[in-house]
Amino acid sequence: MHAATGGSPLPIHDLKSQIAFHEQFTPKPLYKDAHSKAMLVCLDQGQQIPAHAESHQGFFYVIEGAGTFLGGEGEVPVQAGQLVIAVSGSTRGFRADQGRLVLLATALLL
């Protein structure tokens, strides 16, 4: 994981080369500072992030695959190329029920 440092350029990540699936879901931290964070989320078939409320705003870009977004207003199918925006205080989660699901998850920690 990289954090912003004074005067240093931010790192560039090749996300496709970092995709890895594990027996237990383990997000890969990519970046974090006092105001934001980014993680690569790789869910194997059948894995999920249970629906939960977060105090921060989250952005989830589906890089590969398809699955289900678990939100406060119900379940919504998602697929590669889509962006899910979860506002502060909202419920969010994902389930890989259509094969593998790869997301770039970012959060504003304001």
- 105: nearest Cα among 50, 45, 56, 40: 40
CA distance 23 to 73: 29
Per-residue pLDDT of the chain (110 residues; tens, 9 = 90+): 555 445 556 678 899 999 999 999 899 999 999 999 999 999 999 999 999 999 999 999 999 999 999 998 899 999 999 999 999 999 999 999 999 999 999 999 87
Q: How far is CA 50 from the centre of its chain?
A: 13
Q: Give residue limits of the domains in the chain.
A: 34-108
Q: Which amino acid is at 17?
A: S
SS3 102: strand
- In a 13 Å sphere around the CA of 1, the CA atoms on its Cβ side amount to 13
CA distance 60 to 76: 13
| Domain 34-108, CATH among 3.30.1490.190, 1.10.540.10, 2.60.120.10, 3.40.50.300 | 2.60.120.10
State the DSSP string of 46-77: T-EEEEEE-SSEEEEEEEEEEEEEEETTEEEE
pTM for the predicted model, two decimal places: 0.87
CB of 49 within 8 A of CB of 93? yes
